[in-house]
Structures are given as structure tokens and as C-alpha cells.
Chain A
Amino acid sequence: MSVGYHIVVCGGIVPDPLQTLEPVKGPAGWGLKNELMLPAILDPWAGHALFEAANLAKSAPGSKVWLVSMGPKAKLQQVMMTIAQKVPFELVVLDGPAGGFVEAHEVGTALAEAIEALPGLDKSKLLVFGGWQSASRGAGATMQIVGEKLGIFDQFQGVDKLEARADGTMRILERVEGGSYQESVVAGPPAVLGWATGELPEPPNNPQVGMQNMRLVMPALQKAKPVKIDGGPEYAKVEIPSQKRETRIVKDTPSEVIAKEIIDWLGA
């Protein structure tokens, strides 16, 4: 049985996460050092959610995919030029701050309002996809809040697999400790899924998809709704996780000694 899902992917943009995203306090509060200079990309977790959404929509005729994205318009535009070539979707733009220091409740509320306002959206078919975490700095709570605001209580986080079954139910695998998965079966939409890395690779660029998308992306950007975020938490201190890499240069050390050091380090 084909359901014809209405899939809304919530995905923000982040500075290239392969660069060091060092927090700094500026006049406007906390932000990421060099954020303006780093190239922006779609949050990788949200990217996986989008690819999974496109794949699901392809296998369920009558489905539709929206990408609801909040971020500075000019940066979003650049990102969309790349994303638009990957999979078909319709873009909804919220012109607001990005960067991970905006309070999750405010972001969740803005996203939920944008989803509610989507013309033609059938909530009985609604699947809200998003990233489980944010690559820049996320509270990890935004998707839950979006779900609560929309009145969707079937929520799954750290999802790696979604299997739509013929009877309309969906089997979902969520990541749990130790590389294991928690398996759930949900009766069907509506549901919120915060994706981990999923199972699908990044699709290749397809100029024809890009052209179709861009015809809608440009007007969507022009119609972007400005989002004003008030208040939120005050951060007393922000720092990157204390990962330490100590490099020693050693010469002529026997392999047994090196092996012992590694074993000691693993056991420490």
C-alpha cells in the first residue's frame, strides 16, 4: 500500500565542520570564530535526513518533500546551489540566525510555525525529519520541540534506518549504546525522526534535478520570512570539548615498546 508521505525536513546550515569551530564571544554574544569566513554547508545530519526523505518519497508515489531551513538568506542561497542538485524538494526559508547559539525552544517554535503554514500539508501524512544533532553546536532538543509544538508524540532520535512496510506501519532503528539498535514499529505518520547518518550515500549531482529545484528555490529565497529571536539562555562560558592530541616524535623506538604504550593507553 502506498501512503504518499508529506515529509518535512528541518535542516540548518553550519560552517564547514571539518574546520575547527572554536567558540568566541563577540559583541552580539557567543558565536563561532571565523564563522563568516568559513564555507557554509547543510548540516551533515540534516543532509542525511534529506537524502533519506528523497529516497522514501521516491518509493512512495504521491509523496512530497519540503526543506524548511533557518539561516541567513545570503548563506542559505550559496548552500542551496549545491543541495539543489542532489534531490528534489521544495524550499521554505526562514531568514534568521544560524550558528548553534540560538535557544532551541525559539528555533523549534519558528520551525513548527513554518511547518504549520505549509500550503497543502496533510498532517495525517506528515513525517518530520531532521538532524539528531547539529554539527556546529546543538542542544539536541530542537527536533523534539518541533514535534511537541506540532502535537506529534511518536518521536525517534538517532535514526539510521526507516523501513516503510506494505501495511502502512514503519520499522525504525535508533542508535543505542555499544553499536546496538533499538527497533520500534510505529503505526504510521505523523512522526518525528531525528536522523543519525542513515544508510544512504550522498547522491551525485544531477543538473536536471538542480534546474527543477532552482526554479522554486530562487522565489523561496526572495519570499524568506524574517525570524526574530528574542532572549534565550545566557552562556556563562563556552568551550570546545577537551580533546587533547599530544604528539611526540620518537626515533629508533622498538615496536614492542610502541605496542606496550598503545596497550597502556587503551587500558588507561
Chain B
Amino acid sequence: MLARISRRLAGLLATLVAASFVIFAAVYAAPGDPAVFLAGGRDKLTPEKLDLVRAQYHLDEPLVVQYGRWLGDCLHFDLGRSFKYGDQVADLVAARFPTTLALVAYATLLFVVLGVGAGILAAVRRGTWIDSAVVGGTTLAASVPSFVSAIALVALFGVQLGWFPVSGSGEGFAGGLHHLTLPALSLALGALALISRVTRQSMVDAGAADHVEAARASGIPEREIVLRHILRNALGPIVTMCGLVMAGMLAGTVVVETAFGISGVGSLLVGAINTHDFPVAQAVLLLMVTGYIVVTTLVDLVHPLLDPRVKEAAA
């Protein structure tokens, strides 16, 4: 067990180092000149001033040297200072990460409850109009891009009806819940189809097993059968999918954050990429990669606990 965990950790670190270099190179190669944004106004863009700025921020050095400098600082737990804000990158990210995390957690709660619920309903009522309605409805919801659903939700529930605030992330738990409902909903909508489809399919597969037939024959009530025999066996793929979707969401909040004027790491990242704020872009992207890896690793670890068959295979 210990060996397995240390193997995993080593793999995690290797992945992070590789990712950090790829990200660094990608931001470095992005079109546009960071010095332009650092120099200030348009009346200040003289060649001399730009050279001064490049020297000040070490932008005139080759990529590998810049990366080495960043990696060295990183090992001393120093993520550097933002070019744009002049503030410690760690502070900037720490201030915004809870907002994004809350948004993703809320959205996850929504798509798990609604998606899995709809999937179970469709599986149990397979072949009826309810089944078709669930499949059709969720497919429709998934085909609307999140910025469109965000705007539609704001227009209806925020501006017209005034039930929900139209921007910001709110104060305290209740305020946060109130502010984040619409953004979380527009994030969750896209995931509904996938989750409900996976749930439905794995329920149908599990329902076709012999022991389910046997249970039915022995007169156990249908409710009991669905919950204890079918759903339990179907949980593996469902949990895996929910984990993957949630991990993907960590990196996908950008659009929704912008539409609702929420300052999370998503909007921080976009700003950083547009202004070539290397240290910030680097830190946020790495955080997202880490988040993804952590969530998927957790899913891997939980999977055997849910499904004895996987455990046997692993052993």
C-alpha cells in the first residue's frame, strides 16, 4: 500500500514538472509582447522604455533560463510576484481560489443530484415517455454553450424577475449561496446530459444481471432491488464520471465567472494570459492541473471500495 502511494506521488510530481514546463513554454510562445503591457500607456512605448522593461522583468533571457529561474524560486516556495498586480502570486490565488472552489462544489452538487436522479428515473422507466423526456431534455441542455445559458439565466432570474443577484460572489454562506446559484446552475447544465446518460446506461447494464432476476423472483420489493442491487453495482462508472466532470470544471469556470462578474481563478487566468502575466498564469494553470490530478486520483482510490470486482483485479 505504502509503495503504491509513493509510486503515485512520484508520478504526480513528474507530471507537475512536465506540465509546468509545457505551460511556461506555451505562455511564452503566446502572441503579443509582455513588455507592451508592462510599460504602461501608449505614449510610453518607446524602444528604450521597452528594453528597460524587458531587462527589469528578465524577459530578454532565453526561455530555458527564465524557466529555470521560475523553477528555482518555486522550490523555495516562492511563486514570485505578478507582473500585472505587483502582488505575491500566492496571495492573489489564495484570495480567489475559495470562490472558484465554492462555485465548482455547488455546481457539482447540482449536477450529481439532478443528473444521477434523472438517470435513475430514465433507467427505471426505460422505454416510456419519461425516459425520452429525460434524454431529450438533458441533451438540449448540454447543447447550449454555458455563456449563452449564463446570459439567459441572468436575463430572466436576475434582471427581469430580480430573484437573484446579477454579479459578484456575495458575503458569508447565505450570501454566497444566493450569488452563486445562477452561475453554478449554468455550469451544471452542460454536465447533466453526460451524467444522466452514464447513470442510465450503467443502471440498465446492472439491471440485466442474473442476481437481479433472482432477487425479483424471490419477491423483494422493486424499490429495494433498484437501490440495493442495481444502483450499488452501477455506482462505479457513475462516480468515475462525476469525478472527471468535476475535475474538468475546475478549469472551465472562466466563461461563467466573466458573465457573472465573479473574481475567481478563472477570470484571473484569462487576465493573466491576455497581459502575459507569466507568474500568475503559471501558478493558476498548475493549480488547475494539480486539482485535476488530485480529483482523478481520489476517484481511482475510491473505485475499488465501490466495486469488489475492481479490487480483485487490482490484487
User: Do A and B make up one complex?
Assistant: no
